[in-house]
Amino acid sequence: MPTVLRIGNLRVVIYPNDHRPAHVHVIGPQHEALFYLNCPKGPVDLRENYGFSTRALNRIELVLKKHVAELCAAWKEIHDNH
């Protein structure tokens, strides 16, 4: 599972054999969330949350929005190669 971005101690990962549509998993200690990317330009949308506070989710979403183009490119690269 390639880590494509870090947000503090959180890892943003894309699983190579994962389902479409394009999305990322944000993984932290005892927490995980899944965001749809809505490539190529967003906006990112929360699909699932396991343990993050609303405040943390808002912070994560802001960072993902800033990086949505590179995250979409990473999704394409990872899935075009598998």
- Count the neighbouring beta carbons within 10 Å of the beta carbon of residue 61: 18
pLDDT digits (tens, 9 = 90+) for 28-39: 999 999 999 999
What are the extents of the domains in the chain? Answer: 3-80
Q: Are 51 and 32 in contact (CB under 8 A)?
A: yes
Is omega for the bond preceding 29 within 30 degrees of 0, making it cis? no
Query: Does the pLDDT at position 1 exceed 80?
Result: no
Which residue did the predictor score with more confidence, 81 or 62? 62
* Residue 77 CB partners (closer than 8 Å, separation 6+): none
Please choose, from the candidates 2, 4, 3, 10, the residue with its C-alpha nearest in 3D space to the C-alpha of residue 59: 10
